[in-house]
Amino acid sequence: MTSTSNNGEPVTSSSGVSAREVDRTPRRCDGAFSMFPPNQRRRNEMMSVAQKEEELLQKHKENNKVSAVHTHPEQLGGYASLPEVRAQQAMALKCSKFEKKVKKMDLDERRRQEEREKDENMKAEQRRKAERLEKKMEEKAKQERNDPIRQRVNSAFLDKK
């Protein structure tokens, strides 16, 4: 049961939850917006979870800290002289330019071949359509040639009666 004390503070009920936590109806402020009173129990739970996670993160950082790397200095770059290296680089550049050109030519040739095949397929389809149309026209012409004969035979059959 909820009740208020003499000074207007909510008194906790038998379940231990204050009346203010149970009653979360919006309170009007300045007429521009509504404000909900915070749920203190949820806030405390979230704060404790956040604190635990922060502690776990710090422990993780400590356990996985990168140790110092100690290497002995050594000569890098191989044993070739600077002019030899520059010559190798120039040769590699020339080769790469040539390889790039060859690759582009192959790609262009492949594209042209695909285009030719596509054109040939379209031409073959158009030929098939033209042949079908020609057959239809021949059949129609044959029917028109045989039409007077058919009409004569039909009229003779009908006149027998």
The secondary structure of 91-107, three-state, reads: HHHHHHHHHHHHHHHHH
The residue among 148 and 19 whose pLDDT is bigger is 148
Query: Tell me: the pLDDT tens digits for 120-159?
Result: 999 999 999 999 999 999 999 988 888 888 888 888 888 8
How confident is the model at residue 2, as a pLDDT?
Answer: 46
Query: Tell me: the pLDDT tens digits for 91-107?
Result: 998 889 899 999 999 99
pLDDT of 30 over the 60 cut:
yes
Residue carrying the six token digits 């520059």: 86
How confident is the model at residue 69, as a pLDDT?
Answer: 74
How confident is the model at residue 148, as a pLDDT?
Answer: 85
Query: Tell me: the pLDDT tens digits for 48-88?
Result: 999 999 999 999 999 988 787 777 777 666 777 888 888 99
Q: Is the dihedral of CA 82, 83, 86, 92 positive or negative?
A: negative
How confident is the model at residue 129, as a pLDDT?
Answer: 96
Q: Is the dihedral of CA 43, 48, 53, 59 positive or negative?
A: positive
How confident is the model at residue 126, as a pLDDT?
Answer: 97
